[in-house]
Amino acid sequence: MPINVVLLGFGTVGESVYRTIASHQDGLRKILGTEIVVKGVLVKDARKPRNIASDVLVTTDFKKLLELPKIDAAIEAIVGVEPAYTYGVKFLNAGIPVITANKEMAAHKGEKLRREADANGTEFHFEAAVAGGIPIIAVLNQLLHANRVSKIEGILNGTSNFILSTMRGEGISFDEALKRAQRNGYAEADPSNDILGKDSFYKLMIISELVFGKQPEWKKVECTGINELSIKDFEEASAGGQRIKLVASIGKDEDGNITAAVEPQSLNETHPLYHVEGVDNGIVVHTDLLGRLFLQGPGAGGLPTASAILEDLTQHFQKNPNPKPFREASKVRAIH
């Protein structure tokens, strides 16, 4: 039996997932012992031309997607908290695992969705929601159990790092650099979340839940973007041999309170994040046993994000080789 999936969203991420499932089908079949078949795609605008096989249901009606027979996983790559959260809950209620790239939704509702997944004997995955293709969620969730993490610092937004790097490296304007980031598929549909630091903030809150078991009070987290930087800031940084980076950091103070911030920082050459350029993200994890672990890789764009989603998908079905039979969403509530 194939593994049947549905895609919510067919933008930069959704389309890359669709194409990557096709281009990597042979390898996936070897790993999973069966093929992955995209059965349906949910979009917002039915009139947009799309290159999707004719036997795939393309719809703007979520109910039609949910009514497809035998769906084994839902891949969510739409924008914002709603309707993504409501759709996620409906799939989980039907016993269908949800894999998301949507960090805004995961930061707001991740904890609820994990509980919903547990209650229905399924799973909620969100590797693609943090730091693009870098497998930071797997590292924190699966590989650093014995270690006590004391602090994490990261460049978590590919768009703003691309803007800062290209402005400095090529001398182009902020607006031109942002346009390039949009053309490359790095920026959000509304790029204000990228440049105001909110996108980094959401990712930091997801990390906080994993590492410290909860999020800090949002209003106590300083969140400054790159939009307020002046020419003078850049000149001063380069005169001092420094580079300005949008750094998201989280740790605990002496009283055990979580402290977090997103802010531009001038970093010296000795700092590992100084060397993270372009669309790359970088994450420094400080732990008691390991010391300092540094991860770097592409933080945005279709392929790196599809990579994270496909890794979630393959890991899920390696762990759960026999997809559960589809349950109708309406019947599930009665069970609990």
Stretch 103-142 residues interacting with ligand HSE (CB under 6 A): 103, 132
9 binds, among ligand HSE, ligand NAP, none (CB under 5 to 8 A by kind): ligand NAP
Which of 9, 282 has the CB closer to ligand NAP? Answer: 9
Q: Edge-to-edge strands of the sheet including 3-8? A: 57-59, 36-42, 3-8, 73-76, 98-100, 124-125
Partners of residue 41 on adjacent β-strands = 7, 58
Alpha-carbon span 321 to 34, nearest angstrom: 10
If we measure between CA atoms, which residue out of 121, 133, 197 comes closest to residue 159? 197
What's the closest the beta carbon of residue 156 comes to ligand HSE, in angstroms?
7
Which of 13, 261 has the CB closer to ligand HSE? Answer: 13
Is residue 63 among the annotated active site residues?
A: no
Task: Rule CB under 6 A: say whether 297 interacts with ligand HSE.
Answer: no
What's the closest the beta carbon of residue 81 comes to ligand HSE, in angstroms?
15
Which member of 90, 103, 203, 245 is catalytic? 203
20 binds, among ligand HSE, ligand NAP, none (CB under 5 to 8 A by kind): none
Task: Rule CB under 6 A: say whether 100 interacts with ligand HSE.
Answer: no
If we measure between CA atoms, which residue out of 87, 98, 36, 38 comes closest to residue 63? 87
Task: Rule CB under 6 A: say whether 210 interacts with ligand HSE.
Answer: no
194 binds, among ligand NAP, ligand HSE, none (CB under 5 to 8 A by kind): ligand HSE
Alpha-carbon span 98 to 78, nearest angstrom: 13
Contacts of 271 (CB under 8 A, 6+ apart): none
Which of 18, 271 has the CB closer to ligand NAP? Answer: 18
If we measure between CA atoms, which residue out of 223, 173, 171 comes closest to residue 193? 223
What's the closest the beta carbon of residue 204 comes to ligand NAP, in angstroms?
15
Contacts of 130 (CB under 8 A, 6+ apart): 103, 136, 137, 156, 203, 206, 207
Q: Maximum Cα–Cα distance for the chain, whole Å?
A: 66
> Binding segment for ligand HSE among 71-79, 169-177, 180-188, 265-273 (CB under 6 A)?
180-188
Task: Rule CB under 6 A: say whether 277 interacts with ligand HSE.
Answer: no
Q: Sign of the C-alpha dihedral, residues 76, 82, 88, 91?
A: negative
Task: Rule CB under 6 A: say whether 282 interacts with ligand HSE.
Answer: no
CB atoms within 10 A of CB 150: 12
Interacting residue ranges for ligand NAP, rule: CB under 6 A: 9-14, 42-45, 48, 77-79, 83, 101-103, 128, 132, 185-186, 188-189, 300-301, 305
Binding ligand HSE (rule: CB under 6 A), the pick from 104, 188, 277, 311 is: 188
Where in the sequence numbering do the catalytic residues fall?
203
- List of residues contacting ligand HSE (CB under 6 A): 103, 132, 157-159, 186-188, 194, 199, 299-300
